[in-house]
Amino acid sequence: MKFLGLVIVCLTGGLLLYGTMDLPDWGDPASPASTHLSDYYIEHIVEETQVPNLVTAVLADYRGYDTMFETAVVFCAGLACFLLLRDFRPGKNRYYRHIPTGVMLHFKNPETRMIPGNEFEHMDKDWVPSDIIIKTVCRILIPFIQIYALYVVAHGDFSPGGGFQGGVIFGSSLILMAISYNLKTLLKRVTEKFLSIFAATGVLIYVGLGVLAVIMGGQFLDYGMLAPLVPWDPGHVRALGMLGVEIGVGIAVMAVMVIIYVNIVSEGRHDEGL
């Protein structure tokens, strides 16, 4: 089965590489994209979308369907990781640390359990004492990283950024928390249920804005049709619609990043890992 999988991967990769032979050279000024689409976008994008960031306007407006399915692919990647790796079986070995003395206790019987509290805490097999300097530095940095992530999402229609970038930055701050403290500290703050709901909510926000435009009498993802629902400047409604889908993308990307990380490092058990 592994050999068959290797053959399929090699054949698929070979076909993809063969297909690239028909693509124009990188940066070719005579390519169709450079001679038709690029000029149109540069000349009309601000007038038609009210968004000065050309990349955001193309991704969320002109190419809104493509970006929506990209977000769905990100969600499916997290779901596939969950289905393949999640293991709900209890671990065979359990480790507890006596907090006052630091003595580690190892229970080989999975039925033997202790209630974590002020005296004992559940530990990883490869637990090592946390570095106070690393923990302190990360505790200071993480809020700033998260604020910057929110800025990247919220300001994506005016400057470089957007939902994908902001979601990755926010997700990396949560992963940094797991690395500097431990996996349990992260899962106490963002539970598996919380991450799953957020991953689905991000996709639903994107699709919901598109459906709402249809309900208002327009086409799918025609943000301009949302003007009666927005009490602010009607001319800026399209930009606000793009901000909405960017928020959905950011939420989905952040949640899926953490889901993939948690399931890989803990081998799907969520009981121990880096």
Backbone angles phi, psi at 72, to 5 degrees: -65, -35
| Residue 194 belongs to some domain of the structure | yes
Q: Which domain holds residue 69?
A: 48-89+125-266
34 falls within a domain: no
Residues in contact with 268: Cβ distance below 8 Å, sequence separation at least 6, in sequence order: 85, 86, 87
> pLDDT tens digits, residue range 37-84?
888 888 888 888 888 888 888 888 888 899 999 999 999 999 998 898
Count how many domains the chain has: 1
- Is the residue at 105 inside a domain? no
Q: Tell me if 146 is assigned to some domain.
A: yes
Q: Does the residue 33 lie in any domain?
A: no
Asked whether residue 204 is assigned to any structural domain, the reply reads yes
Q: What is the pLDDT of residues 159-189, one digit of tens each?
A: 888 889 999 999 999 999 988 888 888 888 8
Within a domain: residue 184? Answer: yes
**Is position 190 within any domain?**
yes
The pair of structure tokens assigned to 64 is: 């809104």
- The CA-atom distances, in angstroms, between 250 and each of 15, 46, 98, 253, 273 are 33, 23, 40, 5, 26
* Element at 188 (helix H, strand E): helix 183-189
Is pTM beyond 0.95? Reply is no
